[in-house]
Amino acid sequence: MQKIKLYSTNCPKCKVLEAKLRQKNIDFDLITDFDIKELIDKGFLSAPILQVDDEYLDFSHAITFVNNF
């Protein structure tokens, strides 16, 4: 089973991704209190970020992941 975390700032894109995860009944942890520097160090400049096991996905890749789930 995959471990999925959604790093969210509650921005509009974050809310869209969260809604899509819920619509697909995908179990995930919602993370709203996190160190943004850690994600910037991984090369991300905006939220949301979806972590699937050890892989980090930006918004467009996360939407593709959810749509193909």
The one-digit pLDDT tens for each residue of the chain (69 residues) are 789 999 999 999 999 999 999 999 999 999 999 988 888 898 888 899 999 999 999 999 999 999 999
Burial of residue 12 (CB within 10 Å: 0-12, 13-18, 19+) is: exposed
Both structure tokens of 24 = 């697909």
Structurally, the chain folds into a number of domains equal to 1
CA dihedral sign, ordered 6, 16, 20, 41: negative
pTM of the model: 0.91
Determine the Cα angle at 60 with ends 32 and 29, to 5°.
30
> Cis omega (within 30 of 0) on the bond before 12?
no
CATH number for position 40: 3.40.30.10
The residue segments making up the domain with residue 25 are 4-67
